[in-house]
Amino acid sequence: MAVGKTAVKVVRLGRISYHSAMKVQQQHIKQHLDSPNTSPNTLLLCEHEPVYTIGIRQAPYPPKEEQRLKALGADFFRTNRGGLITFHGPGQLVCYPILNLGCFKKSVRWYVCELERT
- Residue 115 placed within a domain: yes
Give the pLDDT of residue 39.
80
Asked whether residue 68 is assigned to any structural domain, the reply reads yes
pLDDT of residue 32: 87
Condensed to tens digits (0 to 9), the pLDDT of residues 32-74 reads 888 877 888 899 999 999 999 988 876 777 889 889 988 999 9
Which pLDDT does position 10 carry in this prediction? 94
Question: Same domain for 73 and 102?
Answer: no
* Chain segment 85-117, per-residue pLDDT in tens: 899 999 999 999 998 877 777 778 888 888 888
Cα separation, 110 vs 104, whole angstroms: 9
Domain that holds residue 58: 50-88
Cβ(8)–Cβ(105) below 8 Å: no
In a domain, 103, yes or no: yes
Cα 71 to Cα 58: distance, rounded to the nearest angstrom: 21
Give a yes or no: residue 30 inside a domain.
yes
Asked if residue 74 and residue 26 are part of one domain, the reply reads: no
Length of the chain: 118
Q: What is the pLDDT, as a whole number, of residue 91? A: 95
- H/E/C letters for each residue in the chain? CCCCCCCEEEEEEEEECHHHHHHHHHHHHHHHHHCCCCCCEEEEEEEECCEEEECCCCCCCCHHHHHHHHHCCCEEEECCCCCCEEEECCCCCEEEEECCHHHCCCCHHHHHHHHHHC
pLDDT at residue 104 in the model: 73
Q: Does 84 lie in the same domain as 67?
A: yes
Domain count, the chain: 2
Q: In terms of pLDDT, which residue wins out, 57 or 29? A: 29
